[in-house]
Amino acid sequence: MKFMLMIYASQDTWDGLSAEEMARGIAEQDAFTTAFFETGELISAFGLADAATARTVRVRAGSAAVTDGPYLEAEEHLASFCLLDCQDETRALEIAARMPFAAFNAVEVWPVMHEAVPAL
């Protein structure tokens, strides 16, 4: 079964970390990533750029409007995500609990219901 793990954060979250804490967090996340790539349960993992670089696209009446940032009314934004392929939800939750940033923030675990695969 596939599951997406998502970490949300605000800019204050990252600004509140010292350079040493950030370096340690990145090293711990790299170790997590390596460990679960090696088990074959982690398909991919991505850290996202600062929310200030995000754009939102809305199409209304056939015209696209692009605005700065993610949903501006939200304090937190999607900071990173991983895609797992593991035995079941119990295992996905176990893996999510081992994510380093889960120690000070939440990790959402979503079952992936459909995988779009292009016809070759």
Helix (H) or strand (E) holding 45: strand 42-47
* Residue 22 in domain: yes
pLDDT at res. 52? 80
8-state DSSP, 100? G
pLDDT per residue over 57-66, tens digit each?
999 999 999 9
Confidence bin at 70 (pLDDT 50/70/90): low
- Name the pTM for this structure: 0.82
Residue 110 has φ and ψ, to the nearest 5°, of -120, 125
8-state DSSP, 23? H
pLDDT per residue over 5-63, tens digit each?
999 888 787 788 899 988 998 899 999 999 999 999 999 999 888 888 888 899 999 99
CB-CB contact of 77 with 70 (8 Å):
yes
Read off the tokens for 54. Answer: 């995000």
Domain count, the chain: 1
Span 61-75, mean pLDDT?
80
* Residue 116 in domain: no
Range of the domain at 34: 2-111
pLDDT at res. 78? 85
8-state DSSP, 115? -
Cα–Cα distance, 17 to 27 (Å, whole number): 14
Q: Which 3 state secondary structure label does DSSP give 15?
A: helix
Read off the tokens for 74. Answer: 């939200």
Confidence bin at 71 (pLDDT 50/70/90): low
State the CATH number of the domain containing residue 72.
3.30.70.1060
